[in-house]
Structure 1
Amino acid sequence: MAKHLSRSDIKKIVSLIRGWDQQKITWPAICEVVEPHIGKHPTRQTLNAHQAIVEAYQARKAALKNEGVAKRRPASLSIAASRIANLEAEVRELKEQNRLYKQMFTVWQYNAYKRGLSESQLNEPLPRVDRERTDGETR
């Protein structure tokens, strides 16, 4: 039983989940498949304790459900290659955008700390919007 997973183990597991090619994905099946790759047999609870693994699992499960509906196939290899190139470019752009968001979050996190804001203050819900009220009214 594996209680702790290293970052490289988590990356390997996420990669295996993303490339899952069987019809059905289950936690026990993942535990079996990852054992030779990470050198230990993790439990479902161990895998479920890591957010990246859970997100990959949920995304793959949803994708498998949708793949059963219909797979769209390109008419030729050149169309497929063009589509792959476009998707790879989109992935690169989204990774860069994500990097910038992480950088911005770090700045915000520092500024909030510097001004003494607590995590609970930052997580307060937004105020409710009263749609019945107009700008000129006062109640």
Structure 2
Amino acid sequence: MKKTRAPDLTEERIKVVIDILDGWTGKLTWDLLLDAVEEASGVRYSRFTFAEYAEIANAFSLKKDALRGTWKGEPSQPRDERVRAALEQAARYKAKVERLEKENQLLLEQFVTWATNAERKGVTMAMLNAPLPKPERDRTKRVK
């Protein structure tokens, strides 16, 4: 029996994977992530598919770094379900903020590289910062 191919990763599916990573606690491996994504979406992807998408690969790597050496089993959980849910949501938001800050730093580094390379080729910052031309929305183009 031939295996069916998993559907392409859309922006929505990538967001699901990253949201899972943001809320991740405990040991993290590609196989555990693949299992969690399959449970959430009903689709089994491969590690190689996820590694091809920079957003997922970066989020995985950053989460792995954040978890490294800190996991020693599940912490004791409050008995009140509302408190537990609020703490879990706060942990997800904190993880998301940390990931976004690191991604922002990577983008800033990339911008500096681009700006430096552009300047070396004679493109000035003024040229790069020039406003884009406004689209001609009011005029209907007529073909003659």
TM-score (norm 2): 0.46
TM-score (norm 1): 0.48
Higher RCO, 1 or 2 (CA under 8 Å, sep at least 6)?
2
